[in-house]
A = this chain, B = another copy of it.
């Protein structure tokens, strides 16, 4: 399979969800401009992304919806299912566990970790909560390669290093500070504080712009 960019992978994830939600007959087609309109991109962008996963359409019928879903799934999911480890069973951590709870068979949170002894050994949303120092053992035994960090900022770096030592290859980081890991580890940051402050900035800016208009 060809090498694709970070952004393309993200758009493919969105395309799949949009296509799955269509609920039209399997044989029906969809044009690139239709998918572009749904996903908020351009039709050229859509065609390029779909080409990257080996999909081709026809000028008369566009792309086959069922075939697209299958191709994107084959590209994103691979052959075997993947489990993720979540570290930090606070309010946010529990919400994330619920959010991803039993969504997809190919990708789910299979183990949670916390340093708080009161949370250990409880089952939250069908997922066992372990002691933090059991991470290497559990990650190895369950072949976990994905880590999710939902601990406070000051603990994020320590947890990141523990995840890396436990054999994790990619991290979804919710802590509001960047973590430093080896280049071989993929990190995706979700910095909600940054996002809210950006929104606040542009809300003020747009409001000022409108106020100036005659």
Contact = CB atoms under 8 A, between A and B. Distances in A.
Contacts of A214: none
Of A82, A91, A180, most B-chain CB atoms within 10 Å: A91
A194 B9 CA distance: 9
Contact of A203 (B21, B100, B170, B180): B170
A178 interface: yes
Interface residues of A, number: 61
Interface of A: 6, 9-10, 13-14, 17-18, 21, 38-40, 76-78, 82, 84, 91-92, 94-96, 98-100, 103, 107, 145-146, 148, 153, 168-172, 176-178, 180, 184-186, 188, 190-204, 206-207, 210
Contact of A197 (B38, B76, B148, B193): B76
B186 A206 contact: yes
Given A14-B191, A170-B202, 11 more contacts: A6-B198, A9-B202, A13-B198, A17-B193, A78-B204, A82-B203, A82-B204, A91-B99, A145-B204, A170-B200, A186-B202
Given A91-B99, A200-B170, A201-B9, A206 B185 contact: yes
Contacts of A6: 198, 202
A153 B21 CA distance: 10
